[in-house]
Amino acid sequence: MRAAVRLWVRRTAAVAGLVLLAGCSGGGGGGADRHPGDVAAAPPVSRARLSVRPGDGAQDVPADGPVEVAVAEGRLLAVRLADDRGTAVPGTLSADGARWTPDRRLATATAYTLDAVAEDAAGLRAAQHAAFATAAPAHTFAGFFTPEDGSTVGVGMPVSLRFSHPIADRAAVEKAVAVVADPPLEVAAHWFGDQRLDFRPEEYWPAGTKVTLLLRLKDVEGAPGYLGTQDKDVHFTVGRALVAAVDLDAHTMTVRRDGEVLRVLPVSAGSPEHGTYLGTMVVSERHEVTRMNSQTVGLGDEYDIKDVPHALRLTASGTFVHGNYWSDPAVFGAANTSHGCIGLPDTKGGSADSPAGWLYQHTITGDVVEVRGSRGERVAPDNGLSDWNLRWSQWTAGSALRTGRHPGGG
């Protein structure tokens, strides 16, 4: 079972000191790695109860809110509200530490992330995360983009646009968007439905490539009565080439940088009942610590792990590579026991010297994880930033300009 598709327009860098809410799912189901049936006792759970408005995945949120973080049976330690450029929005914390609100009206047609961490009287932490987008002005549309302006990303990072309104004239909109590379490289577009337009080259970006997204959407009629609002350039740089190859049968992850093997790490991936997706996936988020709750992947109250260390998101539906401190250390490199995620050895609180900690330090958003195995479901190309699972002929067929029609595009 998969969680709702997340917004891929938010800032993807880790927020230091914050614990973020997530799920964990793969090709056969949802869930985090098997939780404390593998250990003597479950870790203590914070009594602090956080609530965040708007909820994760909310769209067309009014610019004047409401936006609020509140906590019961605890106090807020940190709150960060930031737009898709990473610019923080100032806010005010109530005297009792129980409520936080922004100090100003939000911008229209903008993607935001809202992250909060609180603690209870015993010092145990709880966290909440939401990614949402504010509404565009009436009868206009905007394209929310990934990656962010000025970022350095891995070789697998596609350019992804999510539009605030369904696009009827895809050819007109696609014609108003360009992605150019330096050194020059052919880059093609592909539509996933009527609100997502991605761009990628045939193979991974060459390391060191400088990429510019040109948005010339202002006054373009994307749908009857809806005009674009943007005329801007977005720049990012492709860093070194880091690719992690996961062999589900051998229970290993081989990490290569610019073709050189750096390390071979032991892993425990999805069990036969909850297989890990096969195929090529791209790191879209990095979190030093994240919360994994079974409710986010449709498994009710089965588990709630509030301090999963060194988490790298691979799919919108909830697949992560992450540290695991609760399973029997003997499973890593020997058995697949998770509910779909790829777990590496780690310690409670996260250790930089652990395999998971080492991988986290060497990984940036846009890095590639290639998963192979004798069994499992292939990841859908529109699940997160998994664009590379389409052959080049399939990819280019998804362009409205190349086909002269509305592509199906998944």
Which CATH number characterizes residue 171's domain?
2.60.40.3710
Tell me whether residue 335 is in a domain: yes
- pLDDT, residue 24, reads 67
- Are residues 188 and 94 located together in one domain of the fold? no
- Are residues 119 and 177 located together in one domain of the fold? no
At which of 133, 155, 181 does a domain end? 133
CB burial of residue 12 (10 Å; 0-12, 13-18, 19+): buried
Tell me whether residue 1 is in a domain: no
CA distance 302 to 308: 16
- Are residues 268 and 382 located together in one domain of the fold? yes
Q: How many domains does the chain have?
A: 3
Tell me whether residue 347 is in a domain: yes
* N-to-C CA span, the chain: 19
Tell me whether residue 403 is in a domain: no
**Between the CA of residue 392 and those of 90, 173, 183, 203, 389, what are the distances in Å?**
44, 22, 20, 9, 9
Q: Which residue has the tokens 């047609």?
A: 109
CA distance 123 to 71: 14
* Mean pLDDT on 36-51: 65
At which of 93, 114, 133 does a domain end? 133
- Are residues 370 and 252 located together in one domain of the fold? yes
* Mean pLDDT on 159-169: 97
Nearest-Å Rg of the Cα atoms of the chain is 21
Residue 5 has pLDDT above 60, yes or no: no
The pLDDT tens digits for 185-226 are 999 999 999 999 999 999 999 999 999 999 999 999 999 999
- pLDDT, residue 236, reads 98
Tell me whether residue 400 is in a domain: no
* Mean pLDDT on 244-271: 98
- Are residues 303 and 341 located together in one domain of the fold? yes
- pLDDT, residue 25, reads 61
Residue 142: closest CA among 150, 133, 130:
133
Least confident residue range of 119-133, 139-153, 192-206:
119-133
- Are residues 220 and 272 located together in one domain of the fold? no
Residue 403 has pLDDT above 70, yes or no: no
CA dihedral 53, 364, 392, 187 (to 10 degrees): 90
- pLDDT, residue 58, reads 93
Q: What is the residue-averaged pLDDT of the chain?
A: 87
- Are residues 254 and 364 located together in one domain of the fold? yes
- Are residues 167 and 189 located together in one domain of the fold? yes
Where residue 377 falls among pLDDT bands split at 50, 70, 90? very high
Where residue 277 falls among pLDDT bands split at 50, 70, 90? very high
* Mean pLDDT on 150-154: 97
- Are residues 228 and 305 located together in one domain of the fold? no
Start-end of H helices in 262-403: 355-362, 392-396, 400-403
CA distance 275 to 384: 18
* DSSP single-letter state for residue 134: B
Spell out where 1-138 has E strands.
19-22, 25-26, 29-30, 49-53, 68-72, 75-83, 91-93, 99-102, 111-119, 125-133
Under a CB-based contact definition with an 8 Å cutoff, are residues 145 and 160 in contact? yes
pLDDT exceeding 90 applies to what percent of the chain? 71
- Are residues 126 and 165 located together in one domain of the fold? no
> What's the maximum distance between 2 C-alpha atoms anywhere in the chain?
63
Where residue 23 falls among pLDDT bands split at 50, 70, 90? low
Residue 147 has pLDDT above 50, yes or no: yes
Tell me whether residue 92 is in a domain: yes
Token pair, residue 400, equals 């409205």
Under a CB-based contact definition with an 8 Å cutoff, are residues 10 and 20 in contact? no
Residue 332 has pLDDT above 80, yes or no: yes
Residue 57 has pLDDT above 70, yes or no: yes
CA distance 75 to 121: 9
Least confident residue range of 88-97, 122-131, 229-238, 366-375:
122-131
- Are residues 291 and 353 located together in one domain of the fold? yes
Tell me whether residue 12 is in a domain: no
Residue 30 has pLDDT above 50, yes or no: no
The pLDDT tens digits for 64-102 are 889 999 999 999 999 999 988 788 999 999 999 999 999
Residues with catalytic function: 322, 341
- Are residues 122 and 225 located together in one domain of the fold? no
* Mean pLDDT on 340-354: 95
Give the range of the structural domain holding residue 178, as residue numbers without chain letter. 140-239
CA distance 19 to 22: 10
CA dihedral 349, 351, 354, 357 (to 10 degrees): 90
- pLDDT, residue 300, reads 59
* Mean pLDDT on 303-322: 90
At which of 205, 222, 239 does a domain end? 239
Tell me whether residue 371 is in a domain: yes
Which CATH number characterizes residue 275's domain?
2.40.440.10
* Mean pLDDT on 302-317: 87
Residue 42 has pLDDT above 60, yes or no: no
Spell out where 99-204 has E strands.
99-102, 111-119, 125-133, 140-141, 143-146, 151-153, 159-163, 177-182, 188-192, 196-200
